[in-house]
Amino acid sequence: MGALQVAIVTLFPELFGPFLETSFVGRARSGGQLQVHLEALRQHGLGKHRTVDDTPYGGGAGMVMRADCVVAAIEAAEAALGARTTRVLLTPQGRRLDQAGAAELAARPALTFVCGRYEGFDERVRAFVDAELSLGDFVLTGGEIPAMAVLEAVVRLLPGVLGNPESATRETFAAACDGLLEHAQYTRPPEFRGLGVPEVLLSGDHAKIRAYRQQDALDRTRARRPELLAAGGRRRE
């Protein structure tokens, strides 16, 4: 499997510098699993000031990102990668990203993340993208932070990026864990300010530890995120 190719269309490419050099994302780039191209949206602006937004037809507050500028940037980003990508619009109106969605993106050979600003995109931009994603039911000033979050969620699923491949399969929301929250984790010291570690985890009995963790994951999910059970997580009494 070749490197995942990712283009990011943004008004602020400088925001991505440290992020792309750090932790798993930086490791994936240096290890050849990830290739990233930053496409500066301002380069596709119009006139002396490289304007990429305009007032909305019909009136209203704020400015709207022009379809011609955004689509030109998407097409230029794909030309730089040399590939037709899965084009993803980062918008609060999109589908909320989940672990299954991150896995779907990780399986694609090339992605373009389009970061919005101002009051959003001209509606016609949506005719030129393949998907719309949101981090949740809240609004940010721009799409750069969502793009970073989505990219990190995707990159850590690429083969060879995590030191232990099981890390991505035995965690919260993972299919191998039935989509439940992960069980509680403990490490040294065995006692901290009156708080101890469950004895079963110190027993060395792997069958009992496995059963304890499965039950803890179920109890934790039922208490904190019961909708995950209704959505298909394993029910166990």
What would the mean pLDDT of 27-49 be, rounded to a whole number? Answer: 97
pLDDT tens digits, 150-202: 999 999 999 999 876 666 566 677 776 788 999 999 999 999 999 999 999 99
Would 163 be classed as within a structural domain? no
Pair 144, 220 in one domain: no
Q: Are 79 and 54 in contact (CB under 8 A)?
A: no
pLDDT at residue 169 in the model = 60
| Percentage, residues of the chain above pLDDT 90 | 86
223 burial level (CB within 10 Å; 0-12, 13-18, 19+): exposed
Kindly write down the DSSP assignment for every residue of 63-113, as one continuous string: -EE-HHHHHHHHHHHHHHHTS--EEEEEEEEEEEP-HHHHHHHHTSSEEEE
pLDDT value for 55:
96
Is residue 237 very low, low, confident or very high in pLDDT (cuts 50, 70, 90)?
very low
Q: Which domain holds residue 173?
A: 169-230
The pLDDT of residue 236 is above 50 = no
Q: Is residue 205 part of a domain?
A: yes
Residue 235 lies in a domain: no
Cα 112 from Cα 237, distance rounded (Å): 44
Task: Give the model confidence (pLDDT) of 135-148 as tens digits.
Answer: 999 999 999 999 99
Q: DSSP characters for the chain?
A: --PEEEEEEES-GGGGHHHHHSHHHHHHHHTTSEEEEEEEGGGG-BTTTTB-EEPPTT--SS-EE-HHHHHHHHHHHHHHHTS--EEEEEEEEEEEP-HHHHHHHHTSSEEEEEE--TT-B-GGGGGG-SEEEESSSS--S-SHHHHHHHHHHHHTTSTTTSSSGGGGTSSTT-GGGTTPPPPP---S-SEETTEE--GGGGS--HHHHHHHHHHHHHHHHHHH-HHHHHTTPPP--
Closest CA to 70 of 92, 99, 39: 39
45 and 121 share one domain: yes
- Within-domain flag for 137: yes
Q: How many domains does the chain have?
A: 2
**Token pair belonging to 77:** 């980003």
Q: Which of 123, 155, 187 is the last residue of a domain?
A: 155
| Angstrom distance (rounded) from CA 221 to CA 229 | 7
Q: Which of these three, 131, 155, 179, is where a domain ends?
A: 155
Q: What's the pLDDT at 170?
A: 61
Overall residue count recorded for the chain in this entry: 237
Give the pLDDT confidence of 39-63 residue by residue, as tens digits.
Answer: 999 999 999 999 999 999 999 989 9
CATH, residue 175: 1.10.1270.20
Out of 50-54, 116-120, 130-134, 198-202, least confident range? 116-120
Within 8 A by CB and 6+ apart from 219, the residues are none
Share above pLDDT 70 across residues of the chain, in percent, rounded to a whole number: 93
